[in-house]
């Protein structure tokens, strides 16, 4: 195989993986939705087609295990489809397992791994068992197979010996209309040996009576060939009912059919015992894996592309217009220039929107796997659950969506396992037996919000408080609000579940959820009412490439604060500033105490002024806690394109990246969660390690002011 | 060189068959089901149709029937490429005017040879 062949195979396999995944997903959701008592025939058909496609394509790619497995499931579905078999709950379950198994097999193939053979055999066994349950079906299936295999060896050519054949071929008049061409058949015979053709014009009618679509000729043929009679008949196989055919052997010599003729037939059954073929399939699976990991593809609706093409068209028009203005420019044309630039700005903005939309996928892509999850888990846990999906068409960036799947799975498991009560408990609490989990996605401003809500028992602040005390997160004197308590659930190692189940609740989890969401530049919070239910709310930017930012100035530097994390901005009133233990400054905002972070100090920038009285405070929220960032000036809000710093500087704590502003200067983008972390670690350091402080003091050149003690004095 | 219309609801199958044909110098048009194929067939002139049987919206056997109703497709060879091996289905395909029946998984050489035959 040449490299380009391999590449192409990998590319084709890419299509196969993608479409199988889609097919299996469709199959799964149909199986979950289907009404077992009265199955909708179109749904059955859809399920059948999905498995049928996998069998066909899989076989064509030489993925014989997959094709064979799919074949069993297909047989079962075919019987259901034909009405020969009743759909049962057990059947649905076996088919669901088959879906999983096929998915695993295909994914293993894609990733170049071994699939779990025991599992494959187990599920194959279940399928076969089901198939055998209806006795009259099984023999028929094996019969049709044996018919096939009986034909195969016969059609292969025997070795060496030639014979003389006489063939009379008289097509019926309508033969041409079946798409068959007698000349093609004659040519094919010619390819088998020496052929003599004599046309018989007996039936020809006069030109006036002749229908040009009819066939009037017939032929007498004599053929000397080493091909068997079966091979000759095979040539006529497609026309035998549309012609009169006589085949006679004149001089028959030895005829033998070799045993190994069987090897030519490429039925799935043969491939099973052919190790070389299996090995080939395996290695090709690996090359497919390379392609899959090499760069994901995305399907874009033509509508989106059309919009893009349209925009580019308008851009070209604007460019032409501006070009014309520039050609012979004088002051009178200033208005035209201004208009052109305005149009350019509009085009750019729309183009940007449209390009961004290309990467957008509906959340249904991820949501669709949850009905299955809920179905399986609720059975395992003995709970009754209704899953409600809202806003599935809401679109979000593909990368965001992919990384969102795991946190969502976790939250749903969490709701099912810890949130919802068992049916009897629910009844006792005066609720309906069936619990409800609502997954709701919607756009809000430039963000996407996803809520996972349940109508279960809700969170118990007292229990969380007790646990937090035990873990040393709070002291007896602390009096955290409910929402502060709830937020502690996102701390590592914090679980109030009394017993660890295999569904969820090992104390690792919500902290991972928060970390994942934070990596996407988003936030997650929980709200709950005891006895009524809980709702987890995830807020995410629509895309990772562009950010809505608030530009702020510190001295001569501009920084970008993500708008999503800003709660409010205010002017500091000195009477609300408190200094705690000589080092940390706290701002009292209504009923909350918010630590003040002096950004100039963290970033070693020379500020306009270092006193905080009447300064500007940007209150931000990240990883569940609020902080006030002290800045010199608020400059304005704008969308900025995020440029990564990773390649050149690695991970810089407190910074999410950089961007280039309209005037060409570079502005750093602040990572709020990281920044808060950074500030937290810094405060105790500042009070203890004076060396560290003095370094930053030198940088700002006014040591007395920025010293932590001096800060305390200034109050 | 021929213009070939490949009808299959599976993208990978279309690409696989299409790739084989393109390598042999043919031109390929794809359609994802019978309805689309019929639309393509009405707009473009095609020398050969290769169709799957099981497809949503319009299956391959109905497509054969519909194509034969079109004046321009009375004699165009139509090959059925499917996993099905049921003789009854085969003869149904034939009675509706299909030219040949190939079974998936297909052998590229066999497909090309068959094409050559039906295209003269």
Question: In Å, how far is A53's CA from the nearest CA of chain B?
Answer: 6
- Which two three-digit tokens encode residue A159? 């070795």
For A156, the token pair is 């292969």
Question: Distance (Å) from the C-alpha of residue A57 to the closest C-alpha of chain B?
Answer: 6
Picking from A666, A665, A449, A669, the residue whose alpha carbon sits closest to that of residue A550 is A669
C-beta separation of A437 from A388 below 8 A: yes
pLDDT of A690 > 50? The answer is: no
**Residue A640 pLDDT:** 82
**Which of A96-100, A257-261, B14-18 is predicted least confidently?**
A257-261
Nearest to A184 among B91, B101, B120 (CB): B120
Q: Which helix (H) or strand (E) holds A41?
A: helix A41-60
Per-residue pLDDT tens over the stretch B103-115: 888 888 888 888 8
Lowest mean pLDDT among A31-35, A130-134, A243-247, A371-375: A130-134
Q: Which of A179, A190, A274, A284 would best serve as a mutation to test chain B binding (most B beta carbons within 10 A)? A: A179
Mean pLDDT computed over B24-39? 91
The pLDDT score that the predictor gives to residue A561 is 92
| DSSP state string for A411-460 | HHHHIIIIISPPHHHHHHTT--SSEEEEEEEEEETTEEEEEEEE-SS---
pLDDT of residue A19: 85
Token pair recorded at residue A544: 């990772």
pLDDT bucket at A708, cuts 50 / 70 / 90 = very low
- Check residue A231 and give its pLDDT: 78
Summarised one tens digit per residue, pLDDT across range A320-331 is 888 888 888 888
At A707, the pLDDT band (50, 70, 90 cuts) reads very low
Taking the mean position of all CA atoms in its chain, how far away is CA A594?
A: 40
Confidence of residue A3 (pLDDT cuts 50, 70, 90): low
Q: Which of residues 37-76 of A touch B (CB under 8 A)?
A: 45-46, 48-49, 52-53, 55-57, 59-62, 67
Distance linking the first and last C-alpha atoms of chain B:
11
Residue A387 phi, psi (nearest 5): -100, 125
Check pLDDT > 80 for residue A269: no
> Could you tell me which residues of chain B have a Cβ less than 8 Å from any Cβ in chain A?
9-13, 15-16, 19, 52, 54-56, 68, 74-78, 82-83, 85-87, 91, 94, 97-101, 104-107, 117-118, 120
H-only helix segments in A444-559: 461-470, 482-487, 510-519
d(C-alpha B93, C-alpha A178), whole Å: 10
> Using CB atoms within 10 A of its CB, is residue A651 exposed (0-12), middle (13-18) or buried (19+)?
exposed
Q: Output DSSP code: residue A521.
A: T
Total residues found in chain B within this entry: 120
Written as six digits, the tokens of A24 are 């299996």
In this structure, what token pair is assigned to residue A83?
């009405």
Q: What is the DSSP letter of A651?
A: P
Alpha-carbon distance of A665 to A130, in angstroms, equals 70
Question: For residue A683, is pLDDT > 70?
Answer: no
Crossing angle for the helix pair A370-381 and A398-414, nearest 10 degrees?
10
Q: Report pLDDT digits (tens) over A640-653.
A: 877 778 778 877 88
**Closest residue in A to B105 (Cα–Cα):** A60
Q: Which of A77-86, A92-101, A202-211, B29-38 has the lowest mean pLDDT?
A: A202-211
> What average pLDDT score do residues B69-83 get?
88
Quick one: closest CA in A to B13, which residue? Answer: A57
Calculate how close chain B gets to A239, using CA atoms only, in Å.
Answer: 9
What is the spatial distance between Cα A130 and Cα A127, in angstroms, rounded to a whole number?
Answer: 5
Over range A516-539, report the average pLDDT.
Answer: 87
A253 lies within 8 A of chain B by CB: no
DSSP A103-126: HHHHHHHHTT----HHHHHHHHHH
Does the model's ipTM exceed the 0.85 cut? Answer: no
Cα A381 to Cα A40: distance, rounded to the nearest angstrom = 29
Centroid of chain to Cα B99: 9
What is the Cα B65 distance to its own chain's centre?
12
Q: Hey, what are A207's tokens?
A: 């030109």
SS (H, E, C) A83-97: CCCCCCHHHHHHHHH
Question: Picking from A504-518, A695-709, B21-35, which range would have the lowest pLDDT averaged per residue?
Answer: A695-709
Mean pLDDT lowest among A202-206, A616-620, B36-40: A202-206
Give me A89's structure tokens: 């709950």
What are the φ/ψ torsions at residue A158 (nearest 5 degrees)?
-75, 165
A177–B75 CB contact, under 8 Å: yes
Q: From the CA of B52, how many Å to the nearest CA of chain A?
A: 10
Enter the DSSP assignment of A247: E
Q: Which two tokens stand for residue A503?
A: 């569904």
Token pair belonging to A631? 């800045």
Question: How high does pLDDT run on average in chain A?
Answer: 77
Are residues A52 and B100, on separate chains, in Cβ contact within 8 Å? no
pLDDT digits (tens, 9 = 90+) for A182-201: 887 888 788 788 888 888 88
Has residue A91 got a pLDDT over 90? no
What phi and psi values does residue A113 have, to the nearest 5 degrees? -110, 170
Please, which residues bridge with residue A388 across strands? Answer: A438
The single-letter DSSP state of residue A39 is: -
Exposure string for A129-142, b = 16+ CB within 10 A, e = fewer? ebbeeeeebeeeee
B13 to A56: CB separation less than 8 angstroms, yes or no: yes
Give me the pLDDT at residue A2, please: 56
Rounded CA-CA distance A684/A649 in Å is: 27
For the ranges A193-202, A404-413, A488-497, the maximum mean pLDDT occurs at A404-413
Q: Tell me what the pLDDT averaged over chain B comes to.
A: 88
- The residue with greater pLDDT, B33 or A4, is B33
Query: Does the structure show a pLDDT above 50 at A435?
Result: yes
**Angle, helix A41-60 to helix B11-23, in steps of 10 degrees:** 40
Q: What is the pLDDT of residue A143?
A: 37
A278 has pLDDT over 60: no
pLDDT at residue A32 greater than cutoff 90: no
Residues of A in contact with B30 (CB under 8 A): none
Which pLDDT score, from 0 to 100, does residue A270 have?
38
- Mean pLDDT for A196-215 is 81
Residue A461: other Cβ atoms inside 10 A: 17
Quick check: A382 pLDDT over 90?
Answer: no
Q: Which helix (DSSP H) or strand (DSSP E) does residue A388 occupy?
A: strand A385-390
Given B19, B83, B101, which is nearest A52 (Cβ)? B83
From the list B56, B94, B104, the residue facing A56 with the nearest CB is B104
Neighboring chain A residues of B54 at a CB cutoff of 8 Å: 48-49, 52-53
Q: What percent of chain A has pLDDT over 90?
A: 6
Contact A60 B16 (CB under 8 A): yes
Highest mean pLDDT: which range of A391-395, A559-563, A621-625, A708-712 = A559-563
Is the Cβ–Cβ distance between B53 and B89 less than 8 Å?
A: yes
Sheet of A163-171, strands arranged across: A193-200, A218-225, A163-171, A243-251
Buried b (16+ CB within 10 A) or exposed e, A356-375: ebbbbbbbebbbbebbbebb
Give the three-state DSSP class for A240: helix
User: pTM for the full model?
Assistant: 0.49
Q: Report long-range pairs for A35-42 (Cβ below 8 Å, ≥24 apart).
A: A36/A87, A36/A88, A36/A89, A36/A92, A39/A80, A39/A87, A41/A81
Task: Assess whether pLDDT exceeds 90 at residue A380.
Answer: no
Cβ B42 vs Cβ B77: under 8 Å:
no
- Are the C-beta atoms of A524 and A448 separated by less than 8 Å? no
Highest mean pLDDT (candidates A149-158, A197-206, A388-397, A470-479) = A388-397
Judged by average pLDDT, the poorest of A207-216, A622-631, A639-648, A703-712 is A703-712
Name the strands in the sheet holding A592-598, side by side, starting at the edge strand that comes first in the sequence: A566-571, A616-622, A625-631, A592-598, A584-589, A577-580
Say if residue A230's pLDDT is above 80.
Answer: no
Q: What is the mean pLDDT of residues A473-496?
A: 78
Q: Give yes or no for A2 touching B (CB within 8 A).
A: no
Q: Minimum mean pLDDT among A147-151, A243-247, A575-579, B40-44: which range?
A: A147-151
pLDDT(A157) > 50: no
Does the pLDDT at position A274 exceed 80?
Answer: no
Helices and strands: H and E segment counts in chain A: 25, 22
pLDDT at res. A497 = 53
Question: How far apart, in whole angstroms, are the C-alpha atoms of residue A127 and residue A135?
Answer: 14
3 state SS of A636: strand
Confirm if B76 and B48 have CB atoms less than 8 A apart. Answer: yes
Do the Cβ atoms of B5 and B31 come closer than 8 Å? Answer: yes
pLDDT score for A446: 66
Q: Counting one residue from A and one from B, how many pairs have CB atoms under 8 Å apart?
A: 96
Contact A224, A194 (CB under 8 A): yes
């Amino acid at each position: 195989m040449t490299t380009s062949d391999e590449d192409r195979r990998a590319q084709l396999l890419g299509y196969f993986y993608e479409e199988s995944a889609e097919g299996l997903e469709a199959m799964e959701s149909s199986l979950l939705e289907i009404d077992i008592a009265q199955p909708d025939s179109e749904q059955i058909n859809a399920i059948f087609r999905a498995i049928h496609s996998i069998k066909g394509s899989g076989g064509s790619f030489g993925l014989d295990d997959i094709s064979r497995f799919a074949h069993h499931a297909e047989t079962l579905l075919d019987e259901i489809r034909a009405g020969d078999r009743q759909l049962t709950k057990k059947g649905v379950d076996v088919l669901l397992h088959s879906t999983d198994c096929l998915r695993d097999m295909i994914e293993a193939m894609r990733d170049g791994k071994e699939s779990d053979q025991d599992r494959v055999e187990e599920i194959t066994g279940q399928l076969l068992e089901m198939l055998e349950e209806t006795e009259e079906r099984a023999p028929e299936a094996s019969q049709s197979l044996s018919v096939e295999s009986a034909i195969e060896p016969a059609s292969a050519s025997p070795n060496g010996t030639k014979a003389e054949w006489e063939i009379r071929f008289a097509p019926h008049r309508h033969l041409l209309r079946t798409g068959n061409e007698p000349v093609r058949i004659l040519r094919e015979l010619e390819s088998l040996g020496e052929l003599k053709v004599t046309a018989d014009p007996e039936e020809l009618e006069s030109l006036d009576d002749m229908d040009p679509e009819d066939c009037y000729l017939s032929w007498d043929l004599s053929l000397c060939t080493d091909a068997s009679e079966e091979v000759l008949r095979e040539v006529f196989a497609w026309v035998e009912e549309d012609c009169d055919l006589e085949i006679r052997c004149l001089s028959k010599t030895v005829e033998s059919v070799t045993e190994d003729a069987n090897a030519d037939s490429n039925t799935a059954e043969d491939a099973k015992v052919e190790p070389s073929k299996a090995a080939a399939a395996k290695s090709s699976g690996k090359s497919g894996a390379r392609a899959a990991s090499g760069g994901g593809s995305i399907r874009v609706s033509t509508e989106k592309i059309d919009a893009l093409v349209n925009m580019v068209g308008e851009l070209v028009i604007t460019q032409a217009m501006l070009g014309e203005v520039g050609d012979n420019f004088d002051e009178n044309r200033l208005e035209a220039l201004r208009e052109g630039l305005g149009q350019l700005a509009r085009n750019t903005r729309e183009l940007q929107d449209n390009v961004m939309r290309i990467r957008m996928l509906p959340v249904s892509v991820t949501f669709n796997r949850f009905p299955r999850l809920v179905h399986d888990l609720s059975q395992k846990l003995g709970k009754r659950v209704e899953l409600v999906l809202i806003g599935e068409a809401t679109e979000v960036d593909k990368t965001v969506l992919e990384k969102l799947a795991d946190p969502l799975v976790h939250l749903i498991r969490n709701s099912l396992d810890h949130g919802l009560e068992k049916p009897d408990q629910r009844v006792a609490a005066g609720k309906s037996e069936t619990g409800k989990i609502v997954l709701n996605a919607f756009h809000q401003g430039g963000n996407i919000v996803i809520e996972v809500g349940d109508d279960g028992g809700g969170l118990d602040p007292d229990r969380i408080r007790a646990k937090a005390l035990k873990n040393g997160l709070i002291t007896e004197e602390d009096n955290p609000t409910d929402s502060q308590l709830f937020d502690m659930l996102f701390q590592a190692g914090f679980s109030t579940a009394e017993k660890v189940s295999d569904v969820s609740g090992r104390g690792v989890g919500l902290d991972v959820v928060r970390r994942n969401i934070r990596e996407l530049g988003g936030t997650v919070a929980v709200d709950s009412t005891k006895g009524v239910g809980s709702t987890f709310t995830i807020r995410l930017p629509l895309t990772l490439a562009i950010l809505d930012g608030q530009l702020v100035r510190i001295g001569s530097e501009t920084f970008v604060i993500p708008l999503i994390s800003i709660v409010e901005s205010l002017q500091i009133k000195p009477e609300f500033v408190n200094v705690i233990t000589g080092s940390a400054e706290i701002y009292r905002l209504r009923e909350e105490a918010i630590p003040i972070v002096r950004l100039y100090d963290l970033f070693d920038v020379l500020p306009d002024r270092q006193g905080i009285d009447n300064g500007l405070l940007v209150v931000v929220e990240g990883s569940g806690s609020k902080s006030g960032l002290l800045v010199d000036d608020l400059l304005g809000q704008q969308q900025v394109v995020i440029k990564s710093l990773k390649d050149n500087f690695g991970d810089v704590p407190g910074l999410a990246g950089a961007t280039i502003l309209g005037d060409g200067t570079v502005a750093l983008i602040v990572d709020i969660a990281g920044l808060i972390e950074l500030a937290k670690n810094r405060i105790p350091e500042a009070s203890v390690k004076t060396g560290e402080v003095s370094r930053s003091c030198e940088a700002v050149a006014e040591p007395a002011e920025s010293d932590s003690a001096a800060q305390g004095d200034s109050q | 060189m021929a213009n070939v219309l490949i009808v299959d609801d599976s993208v990978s199958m279309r690409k696989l068959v299409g790739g084989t044909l393109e390598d042999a110098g043919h031109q390929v048009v794809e359609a994802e089901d019978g309805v689309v194929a019929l639309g393509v067939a009405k707009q473009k002139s095609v020398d050969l149709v290769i169709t799957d049987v099981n497809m949503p919206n319009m299956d391959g056997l109905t497509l054969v029937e519909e194509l034969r109703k079109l004046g321009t497709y009375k004699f165009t060879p139509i090959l059925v490429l499917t996993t099905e091996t049921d003789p009854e289905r085969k003869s149904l395909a034939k009675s509706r005017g299909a030219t040949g029946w190939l079974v998936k998984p297909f052998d590229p050489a066999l497909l090309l040879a068959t094409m050559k035959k039906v295209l003269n």
